Amino acid sequence: MAESPTHKWGQIIGSEFLEVAIAPLLRETAKRHALYLDVKGPRPARTGKKISWQDLYGNAHDLDFVFERGGTDDKLGDPVAFIETAWRRYTKHSRNKAQEIQGAVLPLVTTHQRYAPFIGVIVAGEWTGGAITQLHSLGFRVLYFSYDAIVKAFKTVGIDAGFDEDTPDDDCKKKIKAWERLGADVKAQLAKSLLDANTQDVKAFMEKLEKAVTRQIEVIRVLPLHGIAVEATTVEGAIETIEGYDETTPAAKPVARYEIQIKYNNGDSINAVYASKEDAIAFLRSFMPAVLPVNAVKKDE
């Protein structure tokens, strides 16, 4: 079935335009901090043009932008930020889209929890407060451009971007052709108009991203736990165990496990538990500074 002009126009706003607007800001941040920014398109380090990462269970999740530490065109780095973009014309679809984003990103956060990656979403169009709140409650940083803000920005280049379910196909075809006729410089100016009209929100989002990718370790707590676990089938039994425990007795050996907590200066934290000394050391070594890649941003950008 052929794609309707109305649907295609919505795709242009929500994919092409939104990514054109935000990509330059993300590239600047990546370049400034020697990070690799992966965007849709060919890259020797992965197959195809899509950005796809696997979770713990081998499920693939497609993404819009990924910041990597130590990544190059030919090698995947450590993911320090996952950012999605999303457009919805009607509020009735926004909650489902929020759940879709949640399902795509959160499994990857769990998989790569040792990097405590920043998770952001840039949404545009008509979104309910409930959908936005849902994303915030799950740890997403949200940058929101309203439908009216999008329409107003397009007017600066002479395009009426507004549409609804009753808009004739011919009208949407005209909008599509008008967009396709715009040169790269005009599209850049259009993007600037949107960003300038939402300066404070854009600044707040980018500051949160920057704090996340530049965070520094504040303290590392290592707790070696000794002794043999004692199990109780009742709360009363557990209390009796604690009450009867002799704290003056030297700790039993060997170590049962190592609990590690890494706290950052931006409030983020990473918790890990390892049974062996070797695994605990390997985990901590993964946080030691690596040699910065020469091509920290994609060569063709």
Chain segment 86-125, per-residue pLDDT in tens: 999 999 889 999 999 999 999 999 999 888 899 999 999 9
* Amino acid found at 154: F
Q: What would the mean pLDDT of 224-235 be, rounded to a whole number? A: 77
Indicate where the chain has its CATH 3.40.1350.10 domain(s). 5-213
Q: Is 37 helix (H, G, I), strand (E, B) or coil?
A: strand
Q: How far apart are the first and last CA of the chain?
A: 35
239 or 152: whose pLDDT is higher?
152
CATH number of 5-213: 3.40.1350.10
Query: Per mean pLDDT, which range of 64-73, 153-162, 246-255 is the poorest?
Result: 246-255
Residue 175 clears pLDDT 50, i.e. is over it = yes
Torsion, Cα 30 34 40 44, to 10 degrees, reads: 180
What is the C-alpha separation between 90 and 131, in angstroms, rounded? 12
Query: What pLDDT shows up at residue 35?
Result: 95
Is residue 158 over pLDDT 70?
Answer: yes
pTM for the whole thing? 0.80
Strand partners, 193: none
Token digits for 150?
Answer: 């999008």
**Tens digits of residue pLDDT in 41-95:** 999 999 999 999 999 999 999 999 999 999 999 999 999 999 999 999 999 889 9
Please name the residue that has the structure tokens 């693939």.
60
Binned at pLDDT 50, 70 and 90, residue 2 comes out as low
